[in-house]
Amino acid sequence: MPSAIIEASRIIKDYGSFRALHSVSLEVGTGEFVALVGPSGCGKTTLLKIIAGFEEPTSGELKIAGSNMDGVPAAKRPVRMVFQRLALFPHKTVRDNIGFPLKLAKTEKVEADRRVRAMLDLMHLNPSYLGRYPAQLSGGEQQRVALARALVSRPGVLLLDEPMSALDVKLKKSLQAELKNLHRNLGTSFVLVTHDLEEAMMLADRICVMRSGRVLQVGTPSEIYYRPVDTFVASFIGDTNLFPVSIANGQGGSVAFSSPIIACDSAIAPKAQCSPTIEGDRASLLVRPEAMRFVEAGNAQPFATLNGKVEEFFIKGASIQFRIRVDGHPVPVVMDLPGTPNIPAAVGADVTIGFDRSDVFLLQE
């Protein structure tokens, strides 16, 4: 990770008797894009507000660009924030909204005008919009104005509190791509709070998963998705299949496992595919839906197979999701296949499905 621009150490935040953050520590590198995800009430927005200076921690230390932020007001911090509701001034024009931070900083008018126009170009907004008011803009245009206002003062960190949650799907996808490109070109550190897990996976260099005011795991999207620290993270980040298995110690750190519903020869998971926290004789075998496939007689056989019945399928365009009811398993097994006009199995069909050894990961149950 590059040198840290944000260093949050053992942050605790209490609201009366309620503890919103439990000794949270997180570093954000210079130029890095970090996404904070977790269920509602997990503390991610509280952490963002503490970084911004809108909340003070009960205890702990926060440094930004090497300086301790204890008692430093929001306006004096090298960060800017884009809110979920955008908070544009309805009575000010686009020019005045974008230029407002420069006005507070008493920037010379010529320089302020130059930077406002530069931000307009960066956000792909027509210069004719400078004289318009927020109510005269579309939702996507308002979003770009809010981003321009946050970035015009060239902050070291941009904080984003679910800024695209109210947009329609097509517009959101477009702005997500622009936000990724913007981050790459500016080199500013971005911290994004989002409920959209796909958005976090698409945009972030690293993802911080939170629950009940605690950080459970921080890692790259690939690490979070394929090597989750526990079953909560595994289930929270995308669809997954978790099969209870009995385990025994293998050789060289590998783990042997068995399950009454999974048929396989030499059921051993290599050390790299086993969580270091596994204890006892029970574990959960994680297999992502896209790793599953139908097994047909005469074709190459996978490492492991299960027998079941198609309960339902959903056509999602680029993919088809099947839900397979397997005897002895309490919930349907989820399987994602590439989209095709020819549905490979009908509802009610008896099927065999399988997966390969390289696609499994063992977690503490």
Q: Are 272 and 253 in contact (CB under 8 A)?
A: no
Burial of 29 (0-12, 13-18, 19+ CB in 10 A): middle
Q: How far apart are CA 74 and CA 87, in angstroms?
A: 16
* Residue range 288-292: mean pLDDT, rounded: 94
pLDDT computed for residue 24 by the predictor: 97
pLDDT computed for residue 4 by the predictor: 93
Letter for the amino acid at 307? N
pLDDT over 80 at 345, yes or no: yes
33-55 pLDDT, tens digit each? 999 999 999 999 999 999 999 99
Q: Which residues contact 174 (CB under 8 A, 6 or more apart)?
A: 140
When the pLDDT of each residue in the chain is averaged and rounded to a whole number, the result is 90
- The pTM for the full model equals 0.87
* Residue range 182-209: mean pLDDT, rounded: 91
- Going by pLDDT thresholds of 50, 70 and 90, the confidence category of residue 78 is very high
- What DSSP line would sit under 136-193, residue for residue? GS-HHHHHHHHHHHHHTT--SEEEEESTTTTS-HHHHHHHHHHHHHHHHHH--EEEEE
**Residue 128 DSSP one-character state:** G
pLDDT over 60 at 251, yes or no: no
236-245 pLDDT, tens digit each? 988 899 999 9
Q: Are 233 and 224 in contact (CB under 8 A)?
A: yes
Question: Counting runs of H as helices and runs of E as strands, what totals does the chain give?
Answer: 8, 21
* Residue range 169-186: mean pLDDT, rounded: 82
**Among 112, 27, 109, 121, residue whose Cα is nearest residue 66:** 27
Q: Cα dist. 280→67, 216, 363 in Å?
A: 45, 21, 12
Three-class SS state of 212: coil
- What are 336-344's contacts with CB under 8 Å, separation 24+? 336/239, 336/289, 336/290, 336/292, 337/293, 337/294, 339/315, 343/313, 343/315, 344/294
Q: Which two tokens stand for residue 317?
A: 């365009």
pLDDT computed for residue 1 by the predictor: 58
219-234 pLDDT, tens digit each? 999 999 999 999 999 9
pLDDT computed for residue 302 by the predictor: 82
pLDDT computed for residue 2 by the predictor: 67
